[in-house]
Chains A and B, each alone.
Chain A
Amino acid sequence: MSGQDPFGRPLAGDRAVEVHAGASGAPVQGERGVRPVRGWCEQELQRELPGLGLVWTGVQVGGRRSLTGASPRPVMRQLSELSNRWRGARAINVRQEPVPAAYRVFFRQIGLDPDATRTPIEQAVLARMLEGGFVSRGLLADVITLALVDTAVPVWALDADTVAAPLGIRPSRPGERLGRAGDGPVLGGGRLVVADADGTVAVLFDHPPDEHRPKRSTRSLLLYTVQVAGVPSLHIEETLWACQSALVDACS
Chain B
Amino acid sequence: MAYIEQLSGDRLDRGDALREADAEAAARETLRAQVGRLERELSALVARSFPHLSGVAPAAPSVPRLLGLAELERTRDRLAGHIADAHQQLAERSARERRSRELLRRAKEDPRRYKFLRIAVADLGEGTCGTWEVRPRLGPIGMLAGWWQVKLSSGCP
Contact = CB atoms under 8 A, between A and B. Distances in A.
A192 interface: yes
A41 to B, nearest CB: 12
B71 A96 contact: no
A143 B39 CA distance: 30
A86 interface: no
B61 A111 contact: no
B61 A117 contact: yes
Interface stretch (B28-36, B88-96, B101-109, B142-150): B28-36
A150 interface: no
B44 A96 contact: yes
A113 interface: yes
B29 to A, nearest CB: 8
B66 A116 contact: no
A204 B63 CA distance: 9
Nearest to B74: A111
Nearest to A193: B64
A85 B156 CA distance: 25
B50 interface: yes
B64 A191 contact: yes
B36 A105 contact: yes
A115 B57 CA distance: 8
Interface in A161-204: 171, 188, 190-192, 203-204
Contacts of B75: 108-109, 111
A44 B28 CA distance: 13
A204 B64 contact: yes
B4 interface: no
A116 B58 contact: yes
Given A47-B25, A48-B28, A116-B59, A111 B39 contact: no
Contact of B65 (A92, A104, A110, A116): A110
B46 A110 contact: no
A101 B65 contact: no
A45 interface: yes
A109 B35 contact: yes
Nearest to A109: B32
B2 interface: no
A110 to B, nearest CB: 4
B153 interface: no
Contacts of B43: 95-96, 101, 104
Interface string A47-76: 111000000000000000000000000000
A7 interface: no
Given A96-B43, A171-B65, 13 more contacts: A47-B25, A49-B66, A104-B43, A105-B39, A105-B40, A108-B39, A113-B61, A113-B62, A171-B66, A188-B63, A192-B64, A192-B66, A203-B63
27 contacts: A44-B66, A47-B25, A48-B25, A95-B46, A96-B40, A96-B43, A101-B39, A104-B39, A104-B43, A105-B36, A105-B39, A110-B67, A111-B62, A111-B63, A111-B75, A112-B64, A113-B59, A113-B61, A115-B55, A115-B59, A116-B61, A117-B61, A117-B62, A190-B65, A191-B64, A191-B65, A192-B65
Q: Considering the complex of A and B, which 6 residue pairs feature the smallest CB-CB distances, nearest first?
A: A116-B58, A115-B58, A113-B59, A192-B64, A105-B36, A95-B43
